[in-house]
Every structure is written in C-alpha cells, then in structure tokens.
C-alpha cells in the first residue's frame, strides 16, 4: 500500500460530533445553572436591596396620624389639609427617606393650596412592620382609601406622586385605582432593570413600565439627565410608554438626589402647568360622560 495514501476513518467524524455535542450540553447546563442561581438570588435578596429604611428621623410630626393596613399593621402618615383645596397630593417617598426628611419639602405644595397626604412604608419612620413590594402596594392603597373613605376626597382629585422607589407604588396605584394624575420623579422602569437596559429575568418587582401602560390619567415624568443612580433612560422610557396626556421635565445638570434643587422654580412651575392639564382632562371626562 502506498504510504502517502491516507484512509478515512468514519468513526472520527462521529467522535468529533459527539465531542461538540457534549460541550454544547455542558455549556447549556452551566448557563442554565447560573441563570437559576440569579433568579434565586433575586428572589431572596431583592427586597433588601430595594428598601433601605434608616433609623427614624422623627419622633412626632405636626398633623401626624395612623392608617391601618389590610393586615392590621399601622403606618404613620401626615395629612396637611388645605381648606377648599381643589386637589390632594398623595406622596410616596424614596427608599432612604422618611416623613421627617420629606415633610419640609412637601409643605411647599401645601403653601401652593394643595392638600397633602404623605406616609411612611411599613418599617420606615415610626410605621409598624417591615417593608416589601407587596406591602408597599398595600400601604399606598390604605392611604388612598383613607382619603376617599375617611376624608371623602373624590378620586379624580387625587394626584399620586412618587419619588425614586416611591414611583413603584405610585404607578401601581394609578394603574389600579381612579386618580386625577400621576407624577413620577427620578424613578425607574422596573427594579431589576436599574442596571440593565434589557430584561434579564422573566419576572420583576415594581414593574412600572407595565403599570404605566395601564394608566388612563395624565402623567408628568421628571428626571435628571445626570442621574447616575437611575440613569435618564428610565424616565424617558416611562414617559414614552404613558398612553394618555403627558408632559416631562428633563433637567440637564440634575442628579438623583438634587433634582428638585437643581430644577429650582421650574419644578413647581411645571407642576402647576401639569395641574392645568389635569383640570382640562377632568373637564373632558365630564363632557364625554354627558
């Protein structure tokens, strides 16, 4: 036999095929394991990352009250009632704030003639219990029902406002209850997409993007272009997803924690302009129902 002639061995191709197949299977198993591990981590620790309650910054506040939640736990709230107010603001604060920290700022809305109800999530300030996404929804719903049932506030005159993590319960409420308007300041598309543009997990918490698509009220979205905590694209995407009447206030130099300060007078000017939009929408609703 000519030594220069090579003889093909059929088993070599089969062997290579099985080697490649085994590698693919192993990679898939490793990737699947990592993916399941990420889901488990998110399930176990996500709410500890979402909520960061600090020691209460207050003992008692003016006009303080207690609201009972669905399971009997009580949350602390402050109601600043403006006699003859046309609209009432229901405010949800950020994850490292409590009533003591936001009280001075929210007083400015009261000075402008709005009634204001602000509250602490469970586990925050002097509220009972511990926080979670599910409880945050229950907390804002309890505050909403207190306004409607105890104070006889008309739902269409309630402006629900959420800052940062407070945008989660605020957007949920606007999607599930009748409100006059929704205001979002420096909030996010969803919890797990704070650091990723594309969704990595098949489930999420505080799915604001889904909820805002279900709203029927006017929406105001405010966000700083220099926000490094919740990058600007979050606010822009939420604004684009809002299906009804809407407006935005993008502040070029504003970061996450100084938005209102950098916005200055534009902050309240935009809010007042938004309220005109809400009034017009309410008038249109009346006309459509006649």
158-163 and 181-185: which strand pairing?
Answer: parallel
Among candidate residues 115, 227, 234, 270, the one labeled active-site is 227
The answer to whether 227 is a known catalytic residue is yes
What 130-135 contacts at long range (C-beta under 8 Å, 24+ apart), as own/partner pairs, is 131/47, 131/51, 131/53, 132/47, 132/51, 133/47, 133/50, 133/168, 133/191, 133/205, 133/206, 135/69
Residue ranges of E strands in 202-278: 219-224, 246-251
Among candidate residues 93, 211, 234, 256, the one labeled active-site is 256
| Helices and strands (H and E) in the chain: how many | 8, 8
The answer to whether 265 is a known catalytic residue is no
The answer to whether 164 is a known catalytic residue is yes
Alpha helix (H) residue ranges in 146-242: 167-176, 208-212, 232-241
Whole-angstrom CA distances from 86 to 49, 144, 213, 235, 256 are 38, 16, 27, 28, 30
CB 122 within 8 A of CB 53: no
The 10 Å CB-count burial string (b at 16+, else e) for 46-81 is bbeebbebeeeebeebeebeebebeeebbbbbbbbe
Whole-angstrom CA distances from 219 to 156, 213, 240, 256 are 13, 11, 11, 20
Among candidate residues 115, 132, 164, 186, the one labeled active-site is 164
Q: Active-site positions?
A: 164, 227, 256
């Amino acid at each position: 036999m000519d030594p220069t002639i090579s003889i093909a061995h059929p088993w070599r191709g089969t062997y290579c095929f099985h080697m490649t197949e085994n590698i693919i299977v192993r990679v898939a198993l490793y990737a699947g394991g990592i993916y399941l591990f990420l889901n488990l981590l998110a399930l176990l620790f996500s709410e500890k990352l979402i909520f960061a309650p600090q020691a209460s910054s207050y003992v008692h506040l003016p006009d303080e009250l207690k609201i009972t939640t669905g399971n009997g736990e009580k949350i602390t709230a402050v109601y600043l009632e403006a006699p003859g107010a046309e609209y009432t603001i229901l405010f949800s604060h950020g994850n490292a704030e409590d009533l003591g920290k936001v009280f001075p700022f929210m007083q400015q809305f009261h000075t402008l003639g709005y009634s204001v109800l602000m509250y602490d999530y469970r586990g925050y300030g002097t509220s009972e219990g511990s926080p979670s996404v599910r409880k945050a929804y229950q907390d804002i719903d309890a505050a909403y029902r207190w306004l409607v049932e105890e104070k006889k506030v008309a739902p269409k005159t309630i402006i629900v406002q959420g800052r940062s993590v407070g945008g989660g319960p605020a957007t949920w409420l606007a999607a599930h209850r009748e409100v006059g308007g929704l205001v979002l300041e420096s909030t996010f598309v969803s919890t797990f997409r704070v650091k990723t543009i594309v969704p990595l997990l098949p489930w999420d918490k505080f799915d604001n993007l889904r909820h805002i698509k279900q709203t029927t009220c006017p929406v105001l979205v405010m966000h700083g272009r220099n926000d490094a905590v919740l990058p600007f694209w979050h606010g822009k995407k939420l604004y684009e997803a809002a299906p009804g009447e809407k407006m935005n206030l993008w502040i070029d130099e504003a970061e996450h924690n100084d938005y209102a300060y950098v916005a200055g007078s534009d902050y309240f000017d935009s809010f007042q302009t938004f309220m005109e939009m809400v009034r017009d929408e309410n008038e249109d609703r009346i006309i459509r129902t006649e």
